Chains A and B, each alone.
Chain A
């Protein structure tokens, strides 16, 4: 992936990023800012056309956005002119699904994410955490094969965030969806990622890949217990050190320049 810049030079945003994701896997992507995480996700979602390489899903090449790849954004992607129910029912409505069937799906999903009492509220009346639940439900209502999450919990406060991490794990296990999750938080990446890739910047590339047991552990268990696991702390320190070094390197380079 290479962008031309207005001044004639170009930026190698991503280079040689190859991934093979099995159905039902939960992949977290972690890395310092500017390592191309969001670019990668936008390419997978079909919002950007790659300059080299390709994305293959279900045996066909990805050329643009489609309902098979659902997105959950950080915030502000809900439609504030619709009620909670209409937001969640947006995907089915676009497909022209009969009303009764749609209402069933929407009710069921809102029950799962714990918003049964807020179905007819306007989205702007809800708190940030509740809004992200709506976003999750809206994505699930469309039954995508892959769910792409771009820092979905990034704008939430720490306490709400922990609760929501539990919800994401629960939904993943219950629905068996393939999920790609981009995050800034090392803990979140460790807790949620069955697989975890750490990316390095300039050019954006895969630095290290982990396979982690914590997501399995976390299902149906208190996430705080998982965090106390000795291995958890060990991996966390290792990754933090890795990212720290990368940041140092970036800073150093800009200082030299």
Chain B
């Protein structure tokens, strides 16, 4: 029962987050619809097409009439980059497209102290908010007249500063003199007052905390700008990261995937054929294959590390296991899927068993095997990255894992994008190979 209660609490937390995100999601959907309306307006201005599918009057529910709109795809991708740039203050975007950024520059506020005998005095605090990484000294200010003296400080953007403004005053907190107002607005310990460049809060002990406005842009540590990621890509491609260049990291990952997949196919395809052609082999391996197939390869990582260590052998064993069952099952169903009339026809044309194997069963199973290979390559790519996240000396997954420990979010982002691009390219290549090598797929 305690478990159920805990789970309910977790679910509630998730739902709250979702509700908080709902306005943004709705906004995004509205933006999509707005773009759609704009595009249909633009389309009306262009010369109408008269090909077969544009003449169809019934398109709702007609699956063949719903194709991917290229314009929508382009707009969608451009929008992702625009949003990314706008919320990171990217220099690739003109300034007016930026989301409100953090305050940077000079600001000032005035504070009022009240002495125990009811006297008040004002002093000004000059604040310089400077970009991160720059060394800027607090400006020299004239202390001015009265009990309270003027102060100055320099703060990096996104940072805040606790400032004892009463340090240089003639009467401070030790003399029971307290700050009672900021820019004329009353303040008490624990409260805060909005000022021109942000906010000034007061701690429980009466120290001022100067918090320049942070805007709605993301700090680079959460989300670096596109050009930062790009320049990091160039740097890592040439200089490298953790003693290896980018090509080495990616090359190692690809090497593991390809070797593991090839070994898996080399064993899995004959195994699948044996299972498809012989009752005995099928009976022997069915329990093993059917048990191993639903075990996610990621669950084997700990065991593989215990048995084979974190070197190449362990990784390749893991990928071999990831590919093996998929390929075996694909080859098995490829063999079982041959129409018996094709085998009958081949027999009555005088083919021997071996000839039927070579000319009928193998070509008939190739489309299934290709489908299996595509799935297996996808799974292997996912598995290798995950395995490298756990432990590796080189590799795409290792690169982003180490980078995340050092909060190099730009490397993490770059790595994720590259991993995505490579995974996508692998799938595209497999599809192309399929078109070239088994053009009869689905035509039987």
**Residues of A with Cβ closer than 8 Å to B?**
45-47, 64-67, 69-71, 73-74, 76-81, 90-91, 94-95, 122, 124, 135, 138-139, 142, 144, 148
Which chain A residues lie closer than 8 Å to B346 at the CB level? Answer: 79, 90, 94
Instruction: Tell me the smallest distance from the CB of B233 to a CB of chain A, in Å.
Output: 44
Which chain B residues lie closer than 8 Å to A45 at the CB level? Answer: 344, 348
Contact flags B352-366 to A (C-beta < 8 A → 1, else 0)? 100100011001101
A246 vs B346: C-alpha distance when bound (angstroms): 36
Instruction: Tell me the smallest distance from the CB of A224 to a CB of chain B, in Å.
Output: 31
A144 vs B347: C-alpha distance when bound (angstroms): 12
Q: Are B350 and A91 in contact (CB under 8 A)?
A: yes
**Given known A91-B349, A94-B349, A94-B355, contact A81–B344 (CB-CB < 8 A):** no
For A67, the closest partner residue in chain B by CB is B350
Which chain A residues lie closer than 8 Å to B363 at the CB level? Answer: 79, 81
A179 vs B360: C-alpha distance when bound (angstroms): 26
Q: Are A77 and B342 in contact (CB under 8 A)?
A: yes
A76 vs B359: C-alpha distance when bound (angstroms): 16
Could you show 14 A-B contacts with beta carbons less than 8 Å apart?
Answer: A64-B347, A70-B349, A74-B341, A76-B339, A76-B342, A77-B342, A78-B345, A79-B359, A81-B363, A81-B440, A91-B350, A94-B352, A122-B443, A135-B345
Contact flags B409-444 to A (C-beta < 8 A → 1, else 0)? 000000000000000000000000000001110011
Since A67-B348, A71-B344 are in contact, a sample of 11 more A-B pairs with Cβ atoms closer than 8 Å, ordered by chain A residue number, is A66-B347, A69-B348, A71-B345, A76-B339, A76-B341, A77-B339, A79-B359, A80-B440, A81-B363, A124-B440, A124-B443
For A93, the closest partner residue in chain B by CB is B359
Number of A-B residue pairs with CB-CB distance less than 8 Å in the complex they form: 79
Q: Are A80 and B344 in contact (CB under 8 A)?
A: no
**Given known A79-B342, A94-B355, contact A67–B443 (CB-CB < 8 A):** no
Interface centre among B348, B355, B360 (most CB of A within 10 A): B348
Which chain B residues lie closer than 8 Å to A70 at the CB level? Answer: 348-349
B263 interfacial contact with A, CB 8 Å: no
A77 vs B342: C-alpha distance when bound (angstroms): 4
Which chain B residues lie closer than 8 Å to A148 at the CB level? Answer: 348
Q: Are A73 and B350 in contact (CB under 8 A)?
A: no
A45 vs B343: C-alpha distance when bound (angstroms): 13
Which chain B residues lie closer than 8 Å to A46 at the CB level? Answer: 347-348
Q: Are B360 and A47 in contact (CB under 8 A)?
A: no
B386 interfacial contact with A, CB 8 Å: no
B351 interfacial contact with A, CB 8 Å: yes
Which chain A residues lie closer than 8 Å to B341 at the CB level? Answer: 73-74, 76-77
Which chain B residues lie closer than 8 Å to A80 at the CB level? Answer: 440, 443-444
A62 vs B291: C-alpha distance when bound (angstroms): 44
Q: Are A124 and B444 in contact (CB under 8 A)?
A: yes
Q: Are A47 and B440 in contact (CB under 8 A)?
A: no
Instruction: Tell me the smallest distance from the CB of A137 to a CB of chain B, in Å.
Output: 12
Which chain B residues lie closer than 8 Å to A144 at the CB level? Answer: 348
For B339, the closest partner residue in chain A by CB is A76
Q: Determine which of B345, B351, B438, B443 lies in contact with A77 in the assembled complex, contact meaning CB atoms within 8 Å.
A: B345
A157 vs B347: C-alpha distance when bound (angstroms): 29
Q: Determine which of A69, A76, A90, A122 lies in contact with B440 in the assembled complex, contact meaning CB atoms within 8 Å.
A: A122
For B349, the closest partner residue in chain A by CB is A91
Q: Determine which of B345, B350, B355 lies in contact with A66 in the assembled complex, contact meaning CB atoms within 8 Å.
A: B350
Which chain B residues lie closer than 8 Å to A65 at the CB level? Answer: 344, 347-348
Q: Are A81 and B364 in contact (CB under 8 A)?
A: yes
Instruction: Tell me the smallest distance from the CB of A118 to a CB of chain B, in Å.
Output: 15
Q: Determine which of A74, A81, A142 lies in contact with B350 in the assembled complex, contact meaning CB atoms within 8 Å.
A: A142
Contact flags B314-325 to A (C-beta < 8 A → 1, else 0)? 000000000000
Instruction: Tell me the smallest distance from the CB of B251 to a CB of chain A, in Å.
Output: 36
A135 vs B438: C-alpha distance when bound (angstroms): 22
**Given known A76-B444, A77-B339, A77-B342, contact A66–B348 (CB-CB < 8 A):** yes
Q: Determine which of A74, A76, A138 lies in contact with B349 in the assembled complex, contact meaning CB atoms within 8 Å.
A: A138
Which chain A residues lie closer than 8 Å to B348 at the CB level? Answer: 45-46, 65-67, 69-71, 144, 148
Instruction: Tell me the smallest distance from the CB of B356 to a CB of chain A, in Å.
Output: 9
Which chain A residues lie closer than 8 Å to B351 at the CB level? Answer: 90, 94
A70 vs B352: C-alpha distance when bound (angstroms): 15
A46 vs B343: C-alpha distance when bound (angstroms): 13
Which chain B residues lie closer than 8 Å to A77 at the CB level? Answer: 339, 341-342, 344-345
A64 vs B356: C-alpha distance when bound (angstroms): 15
Interface centre among A45, A81, A139, A142 (most CB of B within 10 A): A81
Residues B61-96 near A (CB distance < 8 A)? none
A251 vs B295: C-alpha distance when bound (angstroms): 51
Which chain B residues lie closer than 8 Å to A139 at the CB level? Answer: 349
Residues B155-214 near A (CB distance < 8 A)? none
A185 vs B438: C-alpha distance when bound (angstroms): 37
Which chain A residues lie closer than 8 Å to B364 at the CB level? Answer: 79, 81
Which chain B residues lie closer than 8 Å to A138 at the CB level? Answer: 345, 349
